[in-house]
Chains A and B, each alone.
Chain A
Amino acid sequence: MHSDTVKLKIFRKDHGEKSPGRHDEFEVPVTEGMSVLDAVNYVVENIDSTISVRWNCKAAHCGSCAAEINNYPRLMCKTRIDDIGAEITVNPMGAFPHVKDLVTDLSGNFEIDRNIPEFKPKKGIELPWNIKEQDVTRAQEFRKCIECFLCMDVCHVIRNHSSKYIGPRHIIKAAALDMHPLDTVDRSVSLMNDKGLSLCNVTKCCQEVCPEHIKITDNAIIPEKERAIDKMYDPALMLFDKLKAIGKSGSR
């Protein structure tokens, strides 16, 4: 089906407004290769400049323009009009506090980041560091994250159940640090105990929406869970700890 215009329904709600909000409808002329972001910006520049929308690079490198497009979490810049039909509804991400129209408050994410221990390399390694290529590929996968927070938006644990879970974006951040070949900190146990990782029931929705195709669940969440369980319940380690305790009391 080909049409020259598209019907765009944009969520509207003012800063601090108490109502549940509404959708304003616009007819937008379609150009070749047009993205949802182009369509929204067309409205801002030509019809209603008071619509608030967040965007930066327009090329899926920065992750600023995350939204729910026809109820699916996507980047607006990367969603082409011709892929989704003649009627498009754009909503802000539901998992974050609302600011205005399509804009949400992401500042809580930085507070979470502050509480994930930073990179702490082994001491006394010869400079410059020698690191093998095969040892960096796992961490590099997670470092591709563009912080669009779509994985947080789609996560049912965050949306419906618990504010205790820090969410997929932050798990891969911790995993990237944990899997740095020279890092000395272990973050897995604290992810499980204090940061709600145990609440994740690995439905893999997060890795499905990731625009960078990072295998969030397979390569970060599950390994971090396993690592934590190993540390917390490893029978050999538990036995070793016991023996150590006996040894200590014996030598007294």
Chain B
Amino acid sequence: MEYDSYECDVLVIGAGGAGMRAALAAAENNSKVIILSKSVLGKAHTVMAEGGIAASMGNVDSKDDWKMHFKDTIIEGVYLGDWRMAEILAKEAPEAVYGLERIGAIFDRTEEGKIMQRAFGGHTYKRLCHVGDKTGLELIRSLEDKILHKDVTVFDELVITTLVNRSGKLSGAIGFQMRTGRFIAFSAKSTIIATGGLGRIYKITSNSWESTGDGIALALKAGAELRDMEMVQFHPTGMVWPLSMRGILVTEGVRGEGGMLYNSKNERFMLRYSPERKELDARDVVARAIYNEIQKGNGTEHGGVYLDITHKGKEFILKKLPGMYAQFKDFAGVDITKERMEVAPTVHYFMGGINTDPETCMTSIPGLYAAGECAGGLHGANRLGGNSLAEILIFGKRAGEHASETAKHSSSEKIGDDCIQREIKRVKSYLSDATDGENPFKLLERLRCTMDDKLGIIRNAKDMSDGIDIIRDIKLKASGTKVKGGMAFNHGLITCLALDNMAILAECMFLSALERKESRGAHTRNDYPKKDPKWKVNIMLSIKNGKISVSHIKVPKAPENLAIIIGEESYA
């Protein structure tokens, strides 16, 4: 046989926080679970999450409650977020954190022995439960240990290349294992996408190798609906030097713990942009401020601004920001206890993604679920720091529970041999000993530079129209890429497959961004600089008759009891 076949109740694609939480929930509900990871187990991009998990337990600021967390989430998402998702997040976050603690996570503590919480941009109160600046790692290790002690089958370093949707219901996925190059077909009653974001579609990004948006693209191709794809979060502070480290994250925890931003004139410029919240305004605001300062010629030697935490002293910095200390010491030769850091905005997170039902995490395709960064809706036009770690725990769990419940009442449809053979042929068509094909690495580089240049922090119609032409050219050429070598651990092949996914998502992002003729949250246009009530809509994308179709839906109104909390949106 040219391939292996497996059957299960719940197939989880992706083993970051959302995927592992989903797998755990499904296994605890007695489903037969298979979880797949593109990287080695435990290396998912979640380990890069530094600052913390947002939850309104009020351990430090006793006035905090779910209503305030809910309100912050909707307002900082500039009213585009799904109210029900935000309500679920705000209400369930404390229990999600305590749940993690009960399976072994060890958080930093307050004097009285409660879970410590730190300040973060856009959060009214000190709300982020954390472990130094390594919160994501703690989350992954705790879940990973639990998964390893459950009856869950793990395949790591496995690349899924297609989802199978033959009869309007999802019946599983096909992929191959990197170590062996062997194909595997997974037939499943329920499938959960938890593949994270697509930061690597940009050149300057905080995201790791695997964030190529595979799951989002595969879901789109299988018939699922995407939303809000124009909403890209630029984290205000990424490293700028040395060049090879450009974009690597400098946690918001630095500002949360008292770090201040200065331009080359030694001016604390956030006092001008945001007199009240200063460095701790929402990410879109701080990122734009830094971008403006650099554009105005107030940047540093390497094209950033200064971030200064030296006043907090060595002991404090080593305890609260050990990762940042090591990162700057090892890579830039900078001692952050004595010197200032140089930082600039970096692509960090995608608010948009697969459209899902807030209660069940089901997509528009029966049998297909999505949770985590690959799903859209919760964050609207701007995500608050710490909300994504809360999201992966809460919606990962929900996806796992509902996928597992549905699986109990549905039968599995085995993926047919013809279907598998076709996919094997398609994947292998990228392999060739001849050198006349397009080089996937060069094309990917062109794609990433196009995104940086044409769909950055400040956008306009001209750039975006140019950008979409380039992307369509890349998309055409992507189908003709060829690489040498075999199936096993072939980066060239994996790049060909990723490029195919990234090109279609890039097109979606441009279409969506061109469509929204206003500036809102992370989407800022200099040809439409104002927020416009007409555009209080979510932009939806799907493939119809082989083409990407764009439509709008009005942002659903929150029920009265929640509308009161949110208040009226103002248009200046």
**Bound Cα distance from A57 to B239, whole angstroms:** 14
Residues of A within 8 A of B265 (CB): none
Verify if B245 is at the interface (C-beta below 8 Å from A).
yes
Q: Which partner residue on chain A sits nearest B113 by CB separation?
A: A130
Number of B residues near A (Cβ < 8 Å) is 68
Q: Which residue of A lies closest to B181 (CB)?
A: A15
Q: Are A136 and B146 in contact (CB under 8 A)?
A: no
A33 touches B179 (CB 8 A): no
Of A103-111, A189-197, A231-239, the one contacting chain B is: A103-111
Q: Is A133 an interface residue (CB 8 A)?
A: yes
B441 touches A110 (CB 8 A): no
Question: Nearest Cβ in chain A — how far from B29, in angstroms?
Answer: 19
Whether A118 lies near B244 (C-beta < 8 A) is no
Interface flag for B543 (CB, 8 Å): no
Do B483 and A180 have beta carbons less than 8 Å apart? no
The minimal Cβ–Cβ distance linking A54 to chain B, given in whole angstroms, is 7
List chain A residues, Cβ under 8 A from B40.
Answer: 54, 64, 106
A119 contacts B43, C-beta separation under 8 Å: no
Residue of A nearest to B332 (CB): A33
In the complex, what residue of chain A is closest to B486 when comparing beta carbons?
A15
| Complexed CA–CA distance, A160 and B459 (Å) | 60
For the complex, is A229 an interface residue (Cβ under 8 Å from B)? no
Report if A118-B210 is in contact (Cβ < 8 Å); known contacts: A33-B243, A49-B492, A60-B327: no
CB atoms of B248 and A58 under 8 A apart: yes
**Is B6's CB within 8 Å of the partner chain A?**
no
| Interface stretch (choices B95-103, B348-356, B417-425, B467-475) | B95-103
Q: Which of B98, B241, B486, B488 contacts A127 (CB 8 A)?
A: B98
Complex interface: chain B residues within 8 A of A32 (CB): 242-243
A130-B114 in contact (CB<8A) = yes
Q: Which residues of B contact A44 (CB under 8 A)?
A: 441, 491-492
0/1 interface trace, chain A 48-63, chain B, CB 8 Å (1 if under): 0111111111111111
Q: Which residues of B contact A14 (CB under 8 A)?
A: 488
Residues on A with beta carbons closer than 8 Å to the beta carbon of B327:
59-60
| Interface mask (B439-475 → A, CB under 8 Å = 1, otherwise 0) | 0010001000000000000000000000000000000
Known: A56-B39, A113-B148. A33 touches B488 (CB 8 A): no
B108 pairs with A133, CB closer than 8 A = yes
Q: Contact mask A84-120 → B, CB, 8 Å, 1/0?
A: 0000000000000001110101110010011000110
Task: Choose among B110, B242, B331, B441 the residue that contacts A49 (Cβ–Cβ < 8 A).
Answer: B441
A156 within 8 A of partner (CB):
no
Task: Name the contact of B148 in the complex, choosing from A33, A114, A147 (C-beta under 8 A).
Answer: A114
Q: Given A56-B43, A56-B210, A78-B330, do A130 and B112 touch, yes or no (CB 8 Å)?
A: yes
Contact between chains at A52 and B490 (CB < 8 Å)? yes
Task: Chain A residues near B248: list those with CB within 8 A.
Answer: 58-59
Of residues 120 through 165 on chain B, the ones whose CB sits less than 8 Å from some CB of chain A are 131-132, 134, 137-138, 141, 145-146, 148-149, 154, 156
Which residues of A have CB within 8 Å of B316? none
- Is A68 engaged at the interface, CB distance under 8 Å to the other chain? no
Provide the residues of chain A in CB contact with B323, threshold 8 Å: 61
Interface residue? A18 (CB, 8 A): no
- The verdict on B42 contacting chain A, using a C-beta distance below 8 Å, is yes
Contact of A57 among B111, B209, B332, B485 (CB under 8 A): B209
Q: B301-352: which residues lie under 8 A (CB-CB) from chain A?
A: 322-323, 326-327, 330-332
Give the secondary structure class of A's interface: loop
> Most chain-A Cβ atoms within 10 A of its Cβ — which of B45, B145, B241, B495?
B145
Given A38-B244, A113-B148, A127-B98, answer yes or no on A62-B104 (Cβ-Cβ < 8 Å): no
List chain A residues, Cβ under 8 A from B110: 133
Looking at the assembled complex, report how far the CB atom of B490 sits from the nearest CB atom of chain A, in whole angstroms: 7
User: Is there contact, CB below 8 Å, between A105 and B39?
Assistant: no
Which of B106, B108, B492 sits near A180, CB closer than 8 Å?
Answer: B106
Chain A hits for B209, CB < 8 A: 55-58, 64
Question: What A residues does B249 contact at CB under 8 A?
Answer: 59
CA distance A61 to B322 in the complex (A): 12
Interface residue? A217 (CB, 8 A) = no
Q: Which residue of B lies closest to A181 (CB)?
A: B106
Q: Does A146 contact B (CB under 8 A)?
A: yes
Task: Spell out A's residues near B (CB within 8 Å).
Answer: 14-15, 31-35, 38, 44-46, 49-64, 78, 80, 99-101, 103, 105-107, 110, 113-114, 118-119, 121, 127-133, 136, 139-140, 143-147, 177, 180
B-side interface residues toward A, CB under 8 Å? 39-43, 45, 47-48, 57, 98, 101-104, 106-115, 131-132, 134, 137-138, 141, 145-146, 148-149, 154, 156, 179-181, 208-210, 241-245, 248-249, 322-323, 326-327, 330-332, 441, 445, 483-486, 488-492, 495
Q: List 23 A-B contacts (CB under 8 A).
A: A15-B179, A33-B241, A33-B242, A45-B441, A45-B445, A49-B492, A49-B495, A50-B483, A56-B45, A56-B209, A57-B45, A58-B245, A58-B248, A59-B327, A62-B48, A78-B330, A106-B40, A119-B104, A128-B57, A128-B98, A140-B106, A140-B131, A140-B132
- Known A35-B331, A62-B47, A136-B108; 11 more pairs at CB < 8 Å: A32-B243, A33-B332, A44-B441, A49-B484, A53-B491, A60-B326, A62-B48, A78-B330, A100-B489, A129-B101, A131-B106
9 closest residue pairs by CB, A with B = A33-B242, A49-B492, A119-B104, A50-B485, A52-B489, A130-B113, A45-B441, A15-B488, A57-B208
